[in-house]
């Protein structure tokens, strides 16, 4: 995370010349703070929102597979087909029986209205027409089942069989992934759960980019029964599933200090850090500081610094302790 200095310190560039020297000395004015921002990072994995292994519901011989790995598909698109000749023949027979039963029923209605047949005969004709219609509807479904349709817009992830294979119902043929949205599943430690809110967007490091994703929901627990919670975030941008991403949560911590560029720090004796400041007598002095937290090119430090102190940005490389500044 880049620290926005305008929120933390007043950065000023003052051209201070050492006598006749031309080099300008850059300083920043200290603004002491009572809290600082830290970034906690948690790894996660990208997963498709929808992922389906597609299979025919009925047995048969694969006549065609119209897509391959990596192809984009749209909802309702025919992805593969079975040999449909038997199903078509069964449908034709069922339709013929239904048409005949419907004609008989109509004739029986006329005969009944004229009193030539009994109510029992008419009821039997109605029953036979209903049975024939249900058989016709069944074989229409059977014919539809010889085609494998895309359940949603997506990308073909895998192909398991080829044309000519004889299969049973339920054998996977293709795997398709949702191509519109992607989710990140992140195991978040229990102490940070109260820091995140459903519906709010958070930063993720995806390869070399920072991308926003919205927290959709929190699962009761993470896999394995740990105290962590599984947080599920949704991206508006599609990325390749399976990639590892990093959730970045910005938190506020209490502590007195100020942000300084790391380049302004100089290492002192026994691992202690120091910054060089210009006092009211225009003399460069060294102030010892403790590095509380650092992130990117900045560190949050505390020590003997006060509001209004001028820190030399380049540290010991840019000035000499005890030097008088004209």
Residue 158 has pLDDT above 80, yes or no: yes
Which of the listed residues 121, 154, 177 is the one where a domain comes to its end?
177
The CA-to-CA distance between both ends of the chain, in Å, stands at 38
Residues 158, 216 share a domain? no
User: Residue 112 and residue 96: Cα distance in Å, rounded?
Assistant: 24
Q: What is the CATH number of the domain that holds 210?
A: 2.40.30.170
Tell me if 324 is assigned to some domain: no
Tell me if 326 is assigned to some domain: no
At a CB cut-off of 8 Å and minimum separation 6, what does 120 contact? none
The pLDDT score that the predictor gives to residue 268 is 74
Residues 169, 58 share a domain? yes
Nearest to 33 by CA among 2, 14, 12, 5: 5
Residue 281: Cβ within 10 Å count:
8
Mean pLDDT, all residues of the chain: 86
Beta strands in 279-322 (DSSP E): 284-295, 298-303, 310-312
Residue 6 has pLDDT above 60, yes or no: no
The pLDDT score that the predictor gives to residue 203 is 96
Identify the band that residue 9 occupies on the pLDDT scale cut at 50, 70 and 90.
very low
User: Residue 173 and residue 65: Cα distance in Å, rounded?
Assistant: 9
Tell me if 270 is assigned to some domain: yes
Which of the listed residues 177, 197, 220 is the one where a domain comes to its end?
177
Which tens digits make up the pLDDT trace of 35-57?
998 989 999 999 998 999 999 99
* Percent share of the chain, pLDDT over 70: 87
At a CB cut-off of 8 Å and minimum separation 6, what does 46 contact? 182, 183, 184, 206, 235, 239, 240, 241, 242, 243, 244, 245
Residues 26, 85 share a domain? no
Residue 287 has pLDDT above 90, yes or no: no
Question: Rounded to whole angstroms, what are the CA distances from 19 to 266, 277, 304, 325?
Answer: 25, 18, 29, 8
Tell me if 292 is assigned to some domain: yes
Residues 200, 87 share a domain? no
Which residue, chain included where needed, has tokens 């004609």? 103
282: region left, alpha or beta (phi > 0 left; psi from -120 to 50 alpha):
left
Residues 132, 103 share a domain? yes
User: Residue 220 and residue 249: Cα distance in Å, rounded?
Assistant: 20
Task: Compute the average pLDDT of residues 298-315.
Answer: 87
Decide if 203 contacts 248 (C-beta within 8 A): yes
Residue 68 has pLDDT above 50, yes or no: yes
User: Residue 154 and residue 287: Cα distance in Å, rounded?
Assistant: 61
Decide if 229 contacts 221 (C-beta within 8 A): yes
Task: Compute the average pLDDT of residues 149-173.
Answer: 95
Burial of 69 (0-12, 13-18, 19+ CB in 10 A): exposed
Which of the listed residues 235, 252, 269 is the one where a domain comes to its end?
252
Q: Which two tokens stand for residue 183?
A: 């989710």
The pLDDT score that the predictor gives to residue 15 is 39
* Number of separate domains in the chain: 3
Tell me if 290 is assigned to some domain: yes
Which tens digits make up the pLDDT trace of 13-36?
443 333 333 346 788 889 999 999
Tell me if 325 is assigned to some domain: no
The pLDDT score that the predictor gives to residue 278 is 85
Tell me if 145 is assigned to some domain: yes
Residues 166, 264 share a domain? no
Q: What is the CATH number of the domain that holds 30?
A: 2.40.420.20
* Percent share of the chain, pLDDT over 90: 59
Decide if 278 contacts 319 (C-beta within 8 A): no
Decide if 191 contacts 40 (C-beta within 8 A): no
The pLDDT score that the predictor gives to residue 20 is 35
Nearest to 305 by CA among 281, 282, 273: 273
The pLDDT score that the predictor gives to residue 79 is 98
Residues 173, 290 share a domain? no
Task: Compute the average pLDDT of residues 229-249.
Answer: 91
Residues 154, 214 share a domain? no
Which tens digits make up the pLDDT trace of 173-225?
999 998 888 999 999 998 899 889 999 999 999 988 999 999 999 987 655 66
Q: Which two tokens stand for residue 150?
A: 């895309």
Residues 131, 270 share a domain? no
The pLDDT score that the predictor gives to residue 179 is 83
- Residue-number span of the structural domain to which 97 is assigned: 52-177
Length of the chain equals 326
For 88, the 3-state DSSP assignment is: helix
Tell me if 32 is assigned to some domain: yes
Residues 133, 60 share a domain? yes
């Amino acid at each position: 995370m880049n620290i926005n200095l305008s929120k933390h310190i007043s950065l000023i560039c003052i051209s201070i010349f050492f006598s006749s020297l031309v080099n300008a000395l850059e300083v920043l004015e200290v603004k002491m703070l009572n809290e600082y921002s830290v970034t906690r990072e948690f790894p996660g994995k990208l997963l498709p929102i929808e992922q389906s292994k597609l299979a025919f519901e009925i047995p048969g011989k694969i006549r065609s597979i119209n897509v391959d790995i990596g192809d984009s598909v749209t909802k309702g698109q025919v992805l593969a087909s079975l040999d449909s000749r038997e199903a078509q023949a069964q449908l034709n027979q069922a339709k013929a029986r239904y048409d005949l039963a419907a004609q008989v029923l109509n004739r029986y209605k006329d005969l009944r209205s004229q009193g030539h047949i009994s109510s029992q005969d008419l009821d039997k004709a109605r029953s036979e027409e209903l049975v024939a219609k249900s058989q016709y509807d069944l074989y229409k479904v059977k014919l539809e089942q010889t085609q494998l349709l895309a359940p949603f817009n997506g990308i073909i992830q895998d192909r398991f069989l080829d044309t000519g294979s004889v299969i049973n119902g339920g054998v996977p043929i293709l795997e398709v992934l949702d191509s519109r949205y992607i989710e990140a599943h992140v195991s978040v430690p229990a102490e940070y759960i109260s820091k995140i809110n459903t519906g709010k967007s958070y930063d993720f490091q995806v390869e070399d980019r920072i991308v926003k994703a919205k927290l959709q929901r929190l699962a009761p627990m993470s896999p394995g029964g740990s105290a962590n919670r599984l947080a599920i975030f949704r991206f508006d941008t599609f990325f390749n599933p399976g990639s590892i991403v990093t959730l970045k949560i910005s938190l506020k911590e209490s502590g007195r200090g100020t942000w300084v560029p790391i380049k302004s720090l100089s290492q002192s004796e026994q691992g202690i850090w120091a910054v060089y400041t210009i006092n009211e007598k225009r003399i460069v002095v060294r102030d010892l500081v403790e590095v509380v937290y650092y992130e990117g090119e900045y560190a949050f430090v505390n020590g003997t610094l006060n509001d209004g102190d001028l820190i030399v940005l380049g540290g010991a490389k840019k000035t000499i302790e005890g030097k008088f500044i004209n």
